[in-house]
Amino acid sequence: MKSNNMQNIDLFKNIFEIENFKILDRINYQILSYKKNEYVAFRGDLIKGLYVNIEGNLVAEMSKEDGNIKKIEELKNGTIIASAFIFGKNNKFPVDLIAQTDVKILFVKKEELIKLLLSNPGILVNLLDDISNKAQFLSKNLWESVSNKTISEKLSKYILKNEREGIVVLDKTIKELAEYFNVSRPSLSRSMKIIVDQGVIERIEKGKYRIVDREKLKSFK
């Protein structure tokens, strides 16, 4: 693995001694390759160490009881995979991982990872930050899904949070937003239609809206 590409990886960000000390030369590691649409891991597979996506895109999915597939997140180049499950009692993948493109993954066994973390405090901090960020993200999503807010209130707050100078570009499809809010797609579509029909926001183009009445948008219940 070329050291000049390592700063694109979350685990090695802000580590400036890479060229001189060749961090990965201190440990044993593997580069795992997967083809597009190939399963990288199944939910319940044992996590044996550190997995980092170093090339290509992955998608994390979970099968629901009704047979539908829920997309959890996309894991882009440089992302640490399932960092919160490397240590602790339940060392298993919580979701299925599928390659959206051809993918390469840096794999480091747990005992080698410990050596790496002890050799460089910066890498240790980066891993702890990644674990904490993902725990906070999951906590936020859990709160959103179990809170007593109406669909319209969830949607209005999401729009206000993501708007820039009165314009909001939805970074998720209606299906993805429905999964994010833990509501049905038709119900979310109806709430979006109500907000548009009442003149609170107006559609500029697909996925892009202008806020017309900010105060009314804030008042949705």
pLDDT at residue 38, as a whole number: 95
Backbone angles phi, psi at 147, to 5 degrees: -65, 160
Residue 32 confidence (pLDDT):
95
pTM here is 0.64
Q: What stretches in the chain show pLDDT beneath 70?
A: 1-7, 16-21, 64-67, 138-148, 221
Q: What is the per-residue pLDDT for 98?
A: 95
Identify the pLDDT of residue 20.
41
**Structure confidence at residue 134 (pLDDT):** 82
Question: First vs last Cα of the chain: how many Å apart?
Answer: 53
How far apart are the C-alpha atoms of 22 and 3, rounded to whole Å? 7
Look at residue 62 in the predicted model and tell me its pLDDT.
80
Model confidence pLDDT, tens digit, residues 142-163: 665 555 578 888 888 889 988 8
pLDDT at 151: 84
How confident is the model at residue 125, as a pLDDT? Answer: 93
Question: CA torsion sign, 173 to 174 to 177 to 178?
Answer: negative
